[in-house]
Structure 1
Amino acid sequence: MNKWCLLVVALVLMPNLAYGSIGFTSIVDASEAARPLMLSIWYPSDGDQSDIIGGNAVFRGEYAALDAKVVGKHPLIVLSHGGLRSTKDSGAWLSAALAKAGFIVIEVNAPRPENPAMAVDEIWQRPRDISRALSVILDNAAWADHIDEKKVAVIGFALGGTAALSLAGAELDAERYYESCADAGSIGADCTWFSSHNVALNQVDQDEFEQSRHDRRFTSAVLIAPEYLEAFSIESGMALAPTLLISLGSQEMKTLRLPHVEKKAIDEANRLDAFAVCTESGPQILLEEEGDAALCGTSPEERVRIHALIADMIVSFLARNF
């Protein structure tokens, strides 16, 4: 789908696209002292997009109008980035693109786990954070009037995609999940980190892990290169909310066991393309800091193209399922 097709789809879905500007603000929910959530909010606005959000020396940020007035009423997306050690606003590139298409987008930024022993609980913390963020925004009088509560989606990258699938109604099979890191082909990006600190997946808080995270307020879900797909129970996937899997490469397609999930693959992409576009000096900075220059991809132009494909797929899917 080219840019003009995306524009037509978005205009049908969101007549308020004509505002042509996006705003940004953030709120902090400190109702749980041990796990405060910083919520980054992107939305259609009529402000001057002069502020750069989510950028740093390695990755480009996105332009938005800081604390500008929100204009109109829109569907809502709650977005969760993936990596256990990701920085806040890692999904700014997608949040900005979806806000331009007429959505209000909430990116959930939770505290980074201090060590693998804490991180093993992120499998249930992430979906819990997302549901909590949705409650916070719907209970906020300043935002509630701008949200169409009948059109609420959850989108997640990597472990955030795993969380989105749980919220859509799928459930992890405990034994399959516990053995996930034993399989060399498993999509569990932090298995090596856990293993190097003698942390096993079965050290998760059992009571919390066994609770269903299905949240029926979410009417659709999008998973971008999710982890632990092979550990979900087939039976639990029979009555999912409408769900789209976007595979960056083909690995997720091989491990998806659930029926009734729409699948799209970007064969030429890889999981690192879920990162933002790098700055001109980004690759060199990563090399100097003994990081992985592959985080920047083959070229900025190629990553921009892949990001546009991802946004196109999401907008088209939501247009059909909202």
Structure 2
Amino acid sequence: MFTVQYKRFLKPLGKVVLALSVIFPVAGAQGGEEQSDAVGFEDVRLEVPHQARPLEVALWYPVREKGYPMVIGDNPVFRGTKVWKGSLIEEGSFPLVLLSPGSGGSPVTLGWIASRLVRQGYVVAGFRHPGTTTGDSYPQRAAEHWTRAEDISAVLDFLLGKSGFAGSIEAQDISVLGFSLGGLTALQVGGARPSLSLFREQCEGSARKREDCQYLASGGVDLSLLDGEAFGQDLRDSRIKRIVAVDPALTPAMPVKNRESIAVPTLLINLGFEGERMWATDLSDQGSGFAGDLPNSEYWTLGGANHFAFLGECKDGAGIILQEEGEEAICEDPAGSLRSVLHEKIGARILGFLKK
């Protein structure tokens, strides 16, 4: 889906959520972590031809020599993650994971999975997609989702070309990990092509209003004015060798013929038991049926979770803040579940797939 609840949380809580992209120093000097466990971090801004504003990318990487400790993504709602800014990257070449958040999301909110990947020997590049990122998120830009896939290819050009990371990336081992709208982005660079006419038909005729349709309608998006050719264009990037899509958006609008042509090895993840998932992101036969149509894929479900379990861990009292602001309960996990435990399970499944 287009993460309507997460988007609604981000925009009204401006003072709280803008802190998602603020980096805070950690008290004390270097120490505590072994060198091999330290996670390096840098921010990069790129001028790309398809975006009117610079594209911001967060980079996590294995460390040879630590810089100075920081915490990223910390605010009154979410717990941050510790990184080492200004560090020297470990010698060698490493597989790359391109990380695409949901609409209204920030890569630092997904620092928990980025850090896990780095500690297993990966470089991670997380995207602040213009128009669909924290503090800069609009339904119209979410509807123009194809620019996000263009972001992926543009950053990949940079990382493998003129960047200081070029010699540290294993060019034959590049994966994309996407969540929600980012899940769609991941599938698109693998060859997925949603149909605007099919999406319009579903939004206009469905007896059960889908979350993504409702979100775009709430922002005044007129689907009849969207560019159908751009909406369903082929954005595949042959450099992508694996895809991980967590609760991806728009799979109901992907024609079966197109689904069968996606050849990149793909891990599809649904959060929640059958019957409890969001209709717009359900990949099972009870939803879009997408999981059964992809020829080179694995489908994994995690019961006792919900869509927002993929976001960072929440602080004590976060639920009260959200309730006072009249926002969705994005920190409320199903009874008996702990987000930290869910993260361990999700992280292990993703790593198991990437290392095959």
The TM-score range, normalised by the shorter chain, is 0.7 to 0.9
Q: How big is the shift at 1:18?
A: 8.2
For residues 142 and 197 of structure 1, do their structure 2 counterparts lie closer, same or farther at Cα, with a shift above 3 Å needed?
closer
Name the counterpart of 1:246: 269
Candidates 249, 254, 269, aligned match of 1:232: 254
Question: What residue number does 2:126 align with?
Answer: 107
User: Which structure 2 residues correspond to residues 20-99 of structure 1 after superposition, within 5 A?
Assistant: 20-32=37-49, 34-46=52-64, 47=66, 50-72=69-91, 73-83=93-103, 85-87=104-106, 89-99=108-118
Distance 2:223 2:343 in 1: 32
Answer 1 or 2: which has greater helix percent. Answer: 1
Tell me, yes or no, if the aligned pair for 1:273 and 1:306 is still in contact at 8 Å. Answer: yes
Q: Matched residue of 1:293: which SS? A: coil
1:279 is aligned, of 305, 315, 319, to 315
Shift of 1:56: 1.4
Which residue pairs with 1:120 in the alignment? 143
**Partner secondary structure for residue 108 of structure 1:** strand
Letter in 2 for 1:94: I
**Structure 1 position 154, deviation (Å):** 0.6
By how many angstroms is 1:189 displaced?
4.0
Describe the superposition over 1:240-291 as per-residue Cα deviations: whole angstroms up to 9, x where unpaired.
2101101102422232332222101102211011211101131121122222
| Inter-partner Cα distance in structure 2 for 1:133 and 1:184 | 40
Native 8 Å contact 2:43 2:58 kept in 1: yes
Rounded Cα–Cα distance in structure 2 between residues aligned with 1:309 and 1:100: 16
Aligned residue type for 2:96: L
Identity in percent: 28
Equivalent residue letter for 2:221 = V
The match for 2:345 is: 309
Letter in 1 for 2:267: L
Q: RMSD over aligned Cα, in angstroms?
A: 2.4
- Say which of 249, 256, 259 aligns to 2:294: 259
Give the 3 Å change call, closer, same or farther, for CA 245–193 of structure 1 in structure 2: same
Which of the residues 179, 203, 208 maps onto 2:201? 179
Q: Is there any run of 5+ residues in structure 1 with no aligned partner, and where?
A: 1-16
Partner of 1:216: 238
Residues in 1 aligned to 2:101 and 2:153: alpha-carbon distance in whole angstroms: 15
Cα distance in 1, alignment partners of residues 105 and 331 from structure 2 = 12
For residues 18 and 64 of structure 1, the distance between their equivalents in structure 2, rounded to whole angstroms, comes to: 12
Give the secondary structure class of the aligned counterpart of 2:89: coil
- Report the AA paired with residue 231 of structure 2: F
* Contact 1:162 1:228 (C-alpha < 8 Å) held by counterparts: yes
**Taking structure 1 as reference, are residues 298 and 60 closer, same or farther at Cα in structure 2, changes over 3 Å only?**
farther
Which residue identity does 1:81 align to in structure 2?
A: P
**Equivalenced residues, count:** 301
CA separation in 2, counterparts of 1:180 and 1:192?
12
The 3-state SS of whatever aligns with 1:90 is helix
Q: Secondary structure at the match of 2:165?
A: helix
Residue type of the alignment partner of 1:292: E
Tell me by how many angstroms 1:234 deviates.
2.1
Unaligned runs of 5+ in 2: 1-33, 275-281
Deviations 1:186-227 (A, max 9, x none): 7x6442232234423343233422421111110010000111
- Aligned CA distance change for structure 1 residues 173 and 299 (closer, same or farther; 3 Å): same
Aligned residue type for 2:95? P
Residue identity opposite 1:78 in structure 2: L
For 2:12, the equivalent position in structure 1 comes to none
Residue 96 of structure 1 aligns to a residue in which SS?
helix
What is the CA deviation profile of residues 9-28 of structure 1, one whole-angstrom value per residue up to 9, with x for unaligned ones? xxxxxxxx982221111100
